[in-house]
Amino acid sequence: MEPYHQPPTSLSFNNKAIKTILLAGIVAGTLDLLSAFVVYCAFGPSTVEKLLQYIASGFYGSEAFHGGSTMAVAGTVFHYFFAFSWAFIFYICSFYIVFARNNFVISGLLYGFFVWLFMNFVVVPNSYVPQPTNPPTIGSRLISLSCILFFIGLPIAFIISRYYRTKD
């Protein structure tokens, strides 16, 4: 087991902290996006461009589906914006909640569950994403939850907790 180091005594946004948050956002955002490509494009009915346009539709509405690659790029930007935001939020929370930085597996899974709840029951319903005619199935919800737990929550918690375990 890695020796425990005293975390910083004040919340700071030095270069190391910013690099850690960016790394956590890039890793989590990329893993989550790749999992969505596999679930919805490789084994599902969508294409990469349509999936990214779907993300952009949260801001642009159904017009995003007619915007071609420009909207796909916008969807990518929005996706990573959220990934960086979730990493930033976990960084701040884990400074104040010692358990979060010392138990990355449990805190990552709990955080992933929170992210999934917030995205599915607050962000998406209050965005301009076209609402489906049929409600999501239990299976699709479990796949979505699993992806967020393992590709957003755990990587962010792991990377941020490593930051707090190393000396500045």
* Mean pLDDT calculated for residue range 58-79: 97
The pLDDT of 51-67, averaged and rounded, is 96
CA 108, 119, 37: angle at the middle one, nearest 5? 80
26: pLDDT strictly greater than 90? yes
* Tokens coding 72: 């796909």
How far apart, in whole angstroms, are the C-alpha atoms of residue 81 and residue 133? Answer: 28
Phi-psi region for residue 64, left (φ > 0), alpha (ψ -120 to 50) or beta? alpha
Instruction: List, for residues 96-151, the tens digit of each pLDDT value.
Output: 999 998 999 999 999 999 999 999 999 999 999 998 888 889 999 999 999 999 99
Average pLDDT over residues 154-160: 98
Q: What is the pLDDT of residues 38-52, one digit of tens each?
A: 998 888 889 999 999
Confidence of residue 8 (pLDDT cuts 50, 70, 90): low
The CA distances from residue 144 to 52, 76, 124, in Å, are 16, 18, 13
Which of the two residues, 167 and 142, has the higher pLDDT score?
142
pTM of the model: 0.89
- Between 62 and 13, whose confidence is greater? 62
Q: Give the mean model confidence (pLDDT) for residues 22-37.
A: 97
Q: What pLDDT is attached to residue 136?
A: 86
